A and B are shown apart, each in its own frame.
Chain A
Amino acid sequence: MRRIILLFLLSFVFGQNEISVKEIIQEMDNNLNAKSRVLTSKMVVHGRRTSRTIESKNWVVGTDQAFTEYLSPPREAGTKMLKVGNKLWTYSPQTDRVIQISGHMLRQSVMGSDMSYNDMMEDQPLMDRYATTLEGSVIIDGRDYWIIFMDAKVKGLSYPKRRAWIDKEYFLPTKEELYAKSGKLLKTATMDGIKKVQGRWFPSRYLFKDELKRTSKGTEWIIDEIEFDSDIPESRFSKVMLRK
């Protein structure tokens, strides 16, 4: 009888943990993903000597459609990127050509930053892609975090393992480590400047860093304006818009 009660309690404790991890990830996905979003952002690429700031406007619908137009500096202004499904096209006004980016090119850095095209494209909910494990809780600078380890449950993900420090109040991964299959740390992503936008917590600044580059100072992504669930016409995601 005692053994049955113990088993019941154990299953209850572990069951609770598993559900809570799912809930955490679900909450986090809810915060980060929306039906649609329109945002204006700056990408600050920190080089060894100087930094470059690239301003852009993005239109995103779900996880399959995204359109980016670069606004500045003048050299990049007018460059556009369109993502539909797992295809990505770029348009450069200098050459007046639309180029499809595929295969290995998707792993190349975007405009010399620490982000790859794939990093920009892989934005499906984490819940669908990873099996999650709660590793524990930690308090950093007075804030309470869950540490959640994610292991890919589908093949073909750029990062098969990730570890996230999720803020217990905001349900956002304020720090994330992205690992290779071998377990080697490839990139880190941190976020701050968390604000409430249309009823959800959302960061206003990300910092991506390629951890294999010893000299890298990372790439900042600063979100100046963001609007969730706005109506974006379907025509925004047509290839014709690249040349307009």
Chain B
Amino acid sequence: MLFHLAIKNLIGAGIRTWLNVFVTAVSFFMIIFTSGMYDGMRSHAKQVTIDTEVAGGAYWHPKYDPLDPFSYEDAHGIPPKEIHELIQSNDAFSVLVSQASIYPNGRMMPVMMKGIEPNQSIINLPTQSLLTHTDDLIPVLIGSGMAKYTQLKVGDTFAIRWLDANRTYDADEGVIVAIMETENFKVDMGTIWIPLDRAQTMLDMEKEATYITFSKKSATIQNKENWIYRDVNYLMRDMEAMIKADEPGAQIMYMILLALAGMGIFNSQILSIFRRRKEIGTLMALGMTRSRVVTLFTLEGGMNAFFALIMTLILGGPVFIYFALYGIPLPIDYSEMGLIVAKRLIPVYTMGLFVSTTLFIAFVVLVLSYLPSRRIAKMKPTDALRGKIN
């Protein structure tokens, strides 16, 4: 009975109700849209990183710290037996990392030189191109970002200088055998990829590696000696932190929208109580308890959230579906900022996102509807009938 009455009253309020519902629906839409966008970003970054870099995880040399280039000098060794067996069974591959300098067009540029097994198929990099015959020149694979930065093209040669295990300078000519298109800036910017065996010979580090990347289907090995196991979540933590750092901006925006919607509802609740005091008195005089009258008014306010959800689905639904299918074209290339973001961002909407957003907005709206309705509990029916309010 209360529910029917609440709907009747709400619809009866006309434009005032629909304005409140619209503003709440906009908040709904923005929260779902932005959360979906961040989830899409996260999911895309994770998928790209797993696909092109981390696969199932990695075993790091104990001295390896990817954020400290000075650690590369000592971070190399022969992998333990069990890890070596994984490599032999093509369930893992070695990467040997070192610092080097390249001289494209005669300019010096510090780079990270990574030796990788050309025949690996665990990560999606065109490493097979490193098998190209190059007349003794060092075959080099780079990303399109690096190619743009260095102005190098396929077939271009340039000098590479490095320090071997004995800290002796060595240098040779490299040739670009392929330029890969990748969204993962970490395998692109500042990195040159060369064949593993060549890197091991150049650096005087035969059979050594800096880290071993293993496939998703590989089981965790028991005897990894002092090599450090890194799972996908650990390897993704930088990306996760970057997305998290960007989220508060969006949260502030939808908090403002929600506050606007909340103020509208709060205001109309106060107005309702003031304008409908005779109705409140009549309901009380006819035997409706105070708590039921409070419930009726709270329900009326709360119904805004319900209508807002329906309005969001009707008006925003096609927009959600369109973006989920075709993505949102982004105006700038975020890879230059160190983010793995697709050129067209596909938002990810989950049932959990809809349920949690609905519950959150319903809770906020119910609280904001209940707070002004508490005044009804203090009213005397006689005063209310006479139009008096405390």
- Verify that A and B bind, or say they do not: yes
Are B169 and A158 in contact, CB atoms less than 8 angstroms apart?
Answer: yes
Instruction: Write out the residue numbers on chain B whose beta carbons fall within 8 Å of the beta carbon of A107.
Output: 163, 169
Whether, in the assembled complex, A104 has its beta carbon less than 8 Å from a beta carbon of chain B, the answer is: yes
Are A180 and B70 in contact, CB atoms less than 8 angstroms apart?
Answer: no
A105 to B68, CA, bound (A): 12
Are A184 and B171 in contact, CB atoms less than 8 angstroms apart?
Answer: yes
- Report the minimal beta-carbon distance from A29 to chain B, rounded to whole angstroms: 21
Are B108 and A210 in contact, CB atoms less than 8 angstroms apart?
Answer: yes
Instruction: Write out the residue numbers on chain A whose beta carbons fall within 8 Å of the beta carbon of B103.
Output: 212-214
- Report the minimal beta-carbon distance from A184 to chain B, rounded to whole angstroms: 4
Contact of B172 among A160, A184, A210, A216 (CB under 8 A): A184
Whether, in the assembled complex, A233 has its beta carbon less than 8 Å from a beta carbon of chain B, the answer is: no
Instruction: Write out the residue numbers on chain A whose beta carbons fall within 8 Å of the beta carbon of B105.
Output: 214
Whether, in the assembled complex, B107 has its beta carbon less than 8 Å from a beta carbon of chain A, the answer is: yes
Instruction: Write out the residue numbers on chain B whose beta carbons fall within 8 Å of the beta carbon of A214.
Output: 103, 105-107
- How many residues of chain B get a CB closer than 8 Å to chain A's CBs? 24
Are B164 and A181 in contact, CB atoms less than 8 angstroms apart?
Answer: yes
A182 to B99, CA, bound (A): 18
- Report the minimal beta-carbon distance from A140 to chain B, rounded to whole angstroms: 27
Interface residues of A in 188-241 (CB under 8 A from B): 210, 212-216
Are B161 and A180 in contact, CB atoms less than 8 angstroms apart?
Answer: yes
- Report the minimal beta-carbon distance from B65 to chain A, rounded to whole angstroms: 13
Give 1 or 0 for each of A75-111: 1 = CB within 8 Å of chain B CB: 0000000000000000000000000001111010000
- Report the minimal beta-carbon distance from B140 to chain A, rounded to whole angstroms: 16
Known: A155-B166, A212-B161. A104 touches B99 (CB 8 A): yes
Known: A104-B99, A104-B163, A105-B70. A215 touches B106 (CB 8 A): yes
Whether, in the assembled complex, B317 has its beta carbon less than 8 Å from a beta carbon of chain A, the answer is: no
State the majority secondary structure of interface residues on B: mixed
- Report the minimal beta-carbon distance from A211 to chain B, rounded to whole angstroms: 9
- Report the minimal beta-carbon distance from A161 to chain B, rounded to whole angstroms: 10
Contact of B171 among A103, A155, A156, A186 (CB under 8 A): A186
Instruction: Write out the residue numbers on chain A whose beta carbons fall within 8 Å of the beta carbon of B172.
Output: 180, 182, 184
Whether, in the assembled complex, A171 has its beta carbon less than 8 Å from a beta carbon of chain B, the answer is: no
Are B106 and A186 in contact, CB atoms less than 8 angstroms apart?
Answer: no
* B163, closest chain A residue (CB): A107
Instruction: Write out the residue numbers on chain A whose beta carbons fall within 8 Å of the beta carbon of B74.
Output: 103
Whether, in the assembled complex, A9 has its beta carbon less than 8 Å from a beta carbon of chain B, the answer is: no
Are B73 and A156 in contact, CB atoms less than 8 angstroms apart?
Answer: no
Whether, in the assembled complex, A10 has its beta carbon less than 8 Å from a beta carbon of chain B, the answer is: no
Are B108 and A103 in contact, CB atoms less than 8 angstroms apart?
Answer: no
Instruction: Write out the residue numbers on chain B whose beta carbons fall within 8 Å of the beta carbon of A212.
Output: 101, 103, 106, 108, 159, 161, 171
- Report the minimal beta-carbon distance from A55 to chain B, rounded to whole angstroms: 25
Interface residues of B in 136-173 (CB under 8 A from A): 159, 161, 163-164, 166-173
- Report the minimal beta-carbon distance from B206 to chain A, rounded to whole angstroms: 15
A23 to B169, CA, bound (A): 28
A210 to B103, CA, bound (A): 11
A216 to B103, CA, bound (A): 11
Interface residues of A in 156-183 (CB under 8 A from B): 156-160, 180-182
In this complex, which of B72, B105, B168, B173 has the most chain A Cβ atoms within 10 angstroms of its Cβ? B168
In this complex, which of A102, A103, A186, A216 has the most chain B Cβ atoms within 10 angstroms of its Cβ? A103
Are A104 and B73 in contact, CB atoms less than 8 angstroms apart?
Answer: yes
Are A159 and B169 in contact, CB atoms less than 8 angstroms apart?
Answer: yes
Q: A160-B169, A181-B164 are in contact. List 17 more A-B contacts (CB 8 A).
A: A103-B74, A104-B69, A104-B70, A107-B163, A107-B169, A156-B167, A156-B168, A158-B169, A159-B169, A180-B161, A181-B168, A186-B169, A210-B108, A212-B103, A212-B161, A214-B103, A214-B107
Q: List 14 A-B contacts (CB under 8 A).
A: A104-B69, A159-B169, A160-B168, A160-B169, A180-B169, A181-B170, A184-B159, A184-B171, A186-B169, A212-B103, A212-B171, A213-B107, A213-B108, A214-B103
